[in-house]
Amino acid sequence: MHGEPIDILQIEKTFGDKSVVSDVSLSVKAGEFLSLLGPSGSGKTTLLMMIAGFEFPNAGQICVGSRDITYLAPNRRAVGMVFQKYALFPHMTVAQNVAFPLRMRSVTTKDINRRVSEMIDLVQLTGFEGRYPQQLSGGQQQRVAVARALIAEPPVLLMDEPLSALDKKLRETMQIEIKRIQNRLGVTVVYVTHDQEEALTMSDRIAVMSEGRLVQVGSPFDLYQRPATSFVAEFVGKMNFLNGEYVEAELGKCRVRISEHATLSSDLVADGESEQYRLGGRVRVAIRPEDITITRRFEFGHTTDNVLRGTVEAVIFLGQAHIILVQIEGQGEAPVQVLVPSSIGHATFVQGETVDLVIAPSAVRLFPRGVGSVQ
Amino acid sequence: MTVTSTIAAPPINAINNRARASYARGYSKTLSLMLIAPLVLLMGFGFLYPVGKLLIGSLFAPEFGLEQFRRLIRSPLYLTVLLRTFEIAFAVTIASLFIGYPIAFAMAKLPRRWAALTTVCVLIPLWTSTLVRSYAWIVLLQRKGVVNELLLNLGWITQPLRLIYTEGAVIMAMTHVLLPYMILPIFAAVHAIPKELGQAARNLGAGGTSAFWRIMLPLSLPGVFAGCLMTFILALGFYVTPALVGGPRTMLMATLIGQQTTETLDWAFAGALSTVLLAATLTFVIAFRKTLSLNRGFAGVA
């Protein structure tokens, strides 16, 4: 089985006079695992439904391989799908469910039996062929849904939040399982999720959607390290936001005043990008929790560049690390989260302690504080 | 400080939930008894006692024995009526199923506005008195009724057709009256089938028709069985419509029993007839349920 590329061209979709997907163009490479990531109502499921053929776009084109499938009936698309609640047929056994797509394609009974048992073997459900879906656990139902979607060897597999009904532990097992099956079969996967952690773990590339538009498409690493907008910065991974005032730019560095005592400089501002900020303008400053170095404060008074002063509000134990919540002086914002590996964190900092947060210019991202930014 | 309280919150919630769950598990025995008491009393005094008295009465007239039942078997008239009752009930059930299933399916699948309109069309007759609806059929079907007038005026017939007081008229009118009892359970069953199952079938390669035959129809069968059973049982004991539309030559069990109690005042024989009808109905229901429960697939769905 070989995956085929998907080309989505300038798709528009409105329900009534409400625009749900606007001007989305996206290419998925053959065999790629692409996640559509976004909050609910961002249009990601609608986009998936249009690829599956349950909704039709008002404008634009969807191609799989070299075939234009934009207005094709869902049963003629050769696009497999795993539904959010699996949508297994309750009146059929596991084997009958998995065999369904082959029966629809008039495959001989002998071939059906062989392929069903191969597929059931691949998803590790041997011995469960005669069970009905309601006699299976959530994870097993999930495996049946995947097997059923893949048995007719579609070049493209769509998955609509397939793991959202499972508990965390099982979800992690299934993430690995789905990747294993995908690697084995080489099928192109479009995976809809609102869980950024899941998207980061599983995807070759992630397409972030917000309010019906594509905000950024890139590898998990790209999205995490170089978020294009403050929406992506906030949605993907943990991010601290501070309010700042743009002060100056010199030698490729931008300087932002956080409070009377503290300024931060950033060297993450791309060429030309700095022009959108004017002196004295308000900006949003974004810093990852793991990019902050926290130290106990020894001396008072003098202002240092790239150091924020604050007070420890709480220490949260996560297992492999601690999150330390620090209220920054002169900022009314929510406390800043600092990630500290467990071995040091616990003993060193206590609630109420005054601390310095040291932040390298390479970890400071700036975003305009304009319309549409997440508050 | 706010942060500390959020961290402490989850365990407290969990404890609260557990406590609430055990409260919700059940009412106390006394409360449960009090809640069902009115229904039990009504069943006892309003149904079991009088019906039981009627049934037992059939065994003691003139003295203890099966005399009334022998009389029933001796005369071919009564057996014919019993048989006809089952035939007509069966015909009405089948007719309701074929007319009702598409309507129920449409109600569940149409866009909301059209579905609402269809639902109103189904329910309004249900809210109208059976008597009124039966008279409406007389207006339509009688010798000088709307249908005959129309056909005569169109010149399609020269003599008025005999439409009323026929078995066909009874079946048609009863189907009309009982149709909602077929439609509503099927509608409920179709409505309860998740939309994704239909989509999944299409996605897996099924055309619209085979998605219906292989997925929607099998999954709506519990509703079909409930509807058929309800319609059949109601049709077996139906009184008003066959009495008005049917006339003497299409007499059914209910009409016969009515005659025995109100006209000939032969309560013992009415009791015997009722016993037979009740026994036949119960046998039918039990056999029906037994067949269904033997079928594993449907047991799983229902």
Tell whether A187 and A287 lie within a shared domain: no
Tell whether A183 and A263 lie within a shared domain: no
Q: Average pLDDT for residues A10-20, to the nearest whole number? A: 91
Question: Using one digit for the tens of pLDDT, what is the confidence trace for A254-298?
Answer: 888 887 778 888 876 655 566 667 777 788 889 999 999 888 876
A373: in domain: no
Q: Average pLDDT for residues B189-195, to the nearest whole number? A: 92
Q: Which residue has the higher pLDDT, A332 or A161?
A: A161
| A292-296 and A282-287 strand pairing | unpaired
A244: in domain: yes
- Neighboring chain B residues of A104 at a CB cutoff of 8 Å: 204-206, 210
Q: Provide the pLDDT for residue A97.
A: 95
Tell whether A217 and A352 lie within a shared domain: no
Question: Using one digit for the tens of pLDDT, what is the confidence trace for A38-83?
Answer: 999 899 999 999 999 999 999 999 999 989 999 999 999 989 999 9
Closest residue, chain A, to B217 (C-alpha): A91
Across the interface, which of A73, A77, A89 has its CB nearest the CB of B215? A89
- Neighboring chain A residues of B194 at a CB cutoff of 8 Å: 85, 87
Specify the DSSP class assigned to residue B47: I
Domain encompassing residue B201 = 68-295
B19: in domain: no
User: Are A52 and B7 within 8 A, CB to CB?
Assistant: no
Name the percent of chain A lying above pLDDT 90.
Answer: 54
User: Are B297 and A91 within 8 A, CB to CB?
Assistant: yes
The residues, any chain, with a CB within 8 Å of residue A45's CB and separated by 6 or more, are: A160, A161, A192
A1: in domain: no
Tell whether A249 and A154 lie within a shared domain: no
B6: in domain: no
Q: Which residue has the higher pLDDT, A111 or B288?
A: A111
Tell whether A180 and A265 lie within a shared domain: no
The number of distinct structural domains making up chain B is 1
User: Are B197 and A134 within 8 A, CB to CB?
Assistant: no
Question: Does A80 touch chain B if contact means CB atoms closer than 8 Å?
Answer: yes
- Neighboring chain A residues of B207 at a CB cutoff of 8 Å: 73, 75
Q: Which residue has the higher pLDDT, A266 or A192?
A: A192
Q: Provide the pLDDT for residue A299.
A: 63
Domain encompassing residue A119 = 6-233
The number of distinct structural domains making up chain A is 2
Closest by Cα among A83, A72, A19 to A50: A72
Tell whether A207 and A266 lie within a shared domain: no
Q: Provide the pLDDT for residue B203.
A: 93
Q: Give the minimum alpha-carbon distance from A319 to chain B in angstroms, rounded to a whole number.
A: 15
Tell whether A172 and A251 lie within a shared domain: no
User: Are B210 and A104 within 8 A, CB to CB?
Assistant: yes
pLDDT over 70 at B156, yes or no: yes
Q: Provide the pLDDT for residue B1.
A: 34
Specify the DSSP class assigned to residue A261: S
Question: Using one digit for the tens of pLDDT, what is the confidence trace for B98-109?
Answer: 999 999 999 998
List strands edge to edge, sheet with A336-341.
Answer: A292-296, A354-359, A307-317, A321-328, A336-341
Question: Using one digit for the tens of pLDDT, what is the confidence trace for A207-254?
Answer: 999 999 999 999 999 999 889 888 999 899 899 988 888 887 676 678
- Neighboring chain B residues of A79 at a CB cutoff of 8 Å: 203
Domain CATH number, residue B256: 1.10.3720.10
Question: Last residue of a domain, which of A198, A233, A268?
Answer: A233
**A142: enclosing H helix or E strand:** helix A138-150
Q: Provide the pLDDT for residue B15.
A: 43
B126: in domain: yes
B228: in domain: yes
C-alpha dihedral sign at A86, A87, A92, A97: negative
Q: Count residue pairs from A and B with Cβ separation < 8 A.
A: 79
Specify the DSSP class assigned to residue B159: S
- Neighboring chain B residues of A80 at a CB cutoff of 8 Å: 203-204
pLDDT over 80 at A331, yes or no: no
Tell whether A210 and A246 lie within a shared domain: no
Tell whether A143 and A263 lie within a shared domain: no
Q: Average pLDDT for residues B142-165, to the nearest whole number? A: 85
Indicate the range of A193-197, B10-14, B224-228, B263-267 predicted with least confidence. Answer: B10-14
A375: in domain: no
Question: Using one digit for the tens of pLDDT, what is the confidence trace for A333-367?
Answer: 788 999 888 775 455 788 888 888 888 888 888 88
Question: Does A318 touch chain B if contact means CB atoms closer than 8 Å?
Answer: no
Backbone angles phi, psi at B93, to 5 degrees: -60, -45
Domain CATH number, residue A258: 2.40.50.140
Contacts of A246-253 with CB under 8 Å at 24 or more apart are: A246/A277, A246/A278, A246/A279, A246/A280, A246/A281, A246/A282, A246/A283, A246/A366, A247/A279, A247/A280, A248/A279, A249/A274, A253/A361
Residue with tokens 């914002």: A333
Tell whether A243 and A97 lie within a shared domain: no
Question: Does A83 touch chain B if contact means CB atoms closer than 8 Å?
Answer: yes
Q: Is B154 exposed, middle or buried (0-12, 13-18, 19+ CB in 10 A)?
A: exposed
Q: How far apart are CA A99 and CA A94, in angstroms?
A: 9
Tell whether A107 and A191 lie within a shared domain: yes
Domain CATH number, residue A186: 3.40.50.300
Tell whether A22 and A93 lie within a shared domain: yes
A305: in domain: yes
